[in-house]
């Protein structure tokens, strides 16, 4: 009961913080504002998140994890390449989502890399990028445990896929680029399917 209540309150705090970001952006996120939005005192919030950095990190991880699914990656009845492709394509927008998601993606990089930008923006970019890369490594490790990916190549394959996804997304927002959404998704699909070894890849 105690642990369930603890987890529930922690989740409520993170949901309140996520709501503030959605409504006001990263710049307005403060410990005091989160406590107010969650309907708790500052002391209670500090019990779960001793400082602003701890709150920020937990929030960023939650936002990435809420938006990233494992799909069928653990279903060995599905070809390994298909499973990896499903997981990776969620990082590349569909035609319906393109404009909105690409604006968010590019905005995150623009603000996060601005030397004069808010520290939280840089932190958000760093932690979310690392978490996304960790998810890719995790998927590759699952396939590696089944013999589809050489264990010694998991790290390099993960970096390759992470760089490829960032590259096609950057190409999509570059003025004058000829790349279409379908072509970007096709490049990621082709690469994902080419990584697993074996006849069922």
Q: pLDDT higher for 185 or 102?
A: 185
pTM score, whole prediction: 0.84
- Model confidence at 199, pLDDT cuts 50, 70, 90, reads very low
pLDDT digits (tens, 9 = 90+) for 147-182: 999 999 999 999 999 999 999 999 998 999 999 999
CATH tag for 2-52 (out of 1.10.3720.10, 1.10.10.60, 1.20.120.80, 3.30.70.20): 1.10.10.60
Mean pLDDT of the chain: 89
* Parts of the chain belonging to CATH 1.10.10.60: 2-52
pLDDT, residue 1, reads 42
Q: Give the burial string for 46-81 (b: 16+ CB within 10 Å, else e).
A: eebbeebeebbbbbbbbbbeeeeeebebeeeeebbb
């Amino acid at each position: 009961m105690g642990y369930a209540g603890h987890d529930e309150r922690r989740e409520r705090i993170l949901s309140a913080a996520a709501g503030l970001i959605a409504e006001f952006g990263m710049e307005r996120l403060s410990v005091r504002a989160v406590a107010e939005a969650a309907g708790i005192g500052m002391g209670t919030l500090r019990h779960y998140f001793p400082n602003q950095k701890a709150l920020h990190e937990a929030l960023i991880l939650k936002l990435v994890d809420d938006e990233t699914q494992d799909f069928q990656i653990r279903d060995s009845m599905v070809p390994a390449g298909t499973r990896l492709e499903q997981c990776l394509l969620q990082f590349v927008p569909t035609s319906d989502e393109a404009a909105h998601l690409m604006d968010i993606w590019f905005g995150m990089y623009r603000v996060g890399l601005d030397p004069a930008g808010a520290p939280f923006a840089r932190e958000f970019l760093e932690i979310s990028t690392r978490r996304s890369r960790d998810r890719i490594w995790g998927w590759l490790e699952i396939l590696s445990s089944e013999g589809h990916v050489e264990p010694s190549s998991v790290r390099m394959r993960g970096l390759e896929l992470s760089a490829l996804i960032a590259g096609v997304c950057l190409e999509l927002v570059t003025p004058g680029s000829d790349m279409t959404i379908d072509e970007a998704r096709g490049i990621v699909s082709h690469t994902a399917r080419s990584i697993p070894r074996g006849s069922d890849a």
